[in-house]
Structure 1
Amino acid sequence: MVRYVGFPALVVAALSGCVQEGGSAREPPKQPEAATPTHVAVYTGWPTDSDGNGFLDQFTVTVHLWDERFHAAPLQLPGSFEVRLVVPGSATAEEKAVASWVFAGERAAAAMRPAAAGPSYEFRVSLLEAGSDRYDRLEVEPRVVFRGERGEVVQGRGGTIWLGRPNR
């Protein structure tokens, strides 16, 4: 009777080589003390109908603050965020603002989330908080203004989203 011990021995030898030595993965780079936001990246989630009345009224805005001189990771900085919904094509955010929200102090700090890319800020906004959600297919562009505690002011805009009654 012939025994084949070569294949199991090969598997054991191969698997024993799959051990990571030297501890944990590399630590992310530290944020420089002099980091100053120069760019705001704005991302939006899919709008939802939070109260079941047939009108899309709520969505999430995720914000990353970047220093263009320091590209390794987004920044985590104290300050306030103003989220505005603006009719696309408006020259200024004040010109055609449909709604706006301000997140400052503890509300802004509580919105910070760890993310794969680095720190981000996540805000859930609702047209119901700003008045009404009863729009026939409202096209808006989210704009975010960050005002840092050291006096920095930077803004960014997200892609166009549709709120109000869908499919009209």
Structure 2
Amino acid sequence: MTSSQQPPLRDAFLDAMSGLVSSVTIVTTDGDAGRAGATVSAITSVSADGDAPTMLVCLHHETSAAPAIMANKCFCINVLSADQTEIANVFASRTPPPGGDKFSAGIFEPMQTGAPGLKSALARFDCTLVSDERIGTHHVMIGAVRAVARNDGAPLLYGKRDYQALK
């Protein structure tokens, strides 16, 4: 097969990545730069040890959440449950927010850093921003976890370019 018959590397990469399954989260912030949030599936823990546990979040550079997080220096990772596809769609801008405000799609309370935490989320990781680096189209942000809250339930998952549930 010649290279002209092979799919471009980007397309092959995206197709292969669609086979990875990840939790669906909304990442939120609030502060002097305002309140913002986005649906994100690219998150992971970095370390449980050190001065504080750390988390990694990747946000597209065109989201309103990325510059707000950089200015506010805090964010909350809200892990969504299997029955929260609607709020995921609102924060992904797939569905118009009720009344024009994304945050009216759920009940939020300020976490220790001031970032909004979704009360019904499976887990909330309240973080202060430690570092931010732009790589390609995304900001790779590292946050130091300052507080954690948890509820019971099954997670909302994303794979094969759609929401999934554990079976």
Q: Which TM class, normalised by the smaller chain length?
A: 0.3 to 0.5
Query: Which is greater in Rg?
Result: 1
Whichever structure has more helix as a proportion of its residues is 2
TM-score (norm 1): 0.33
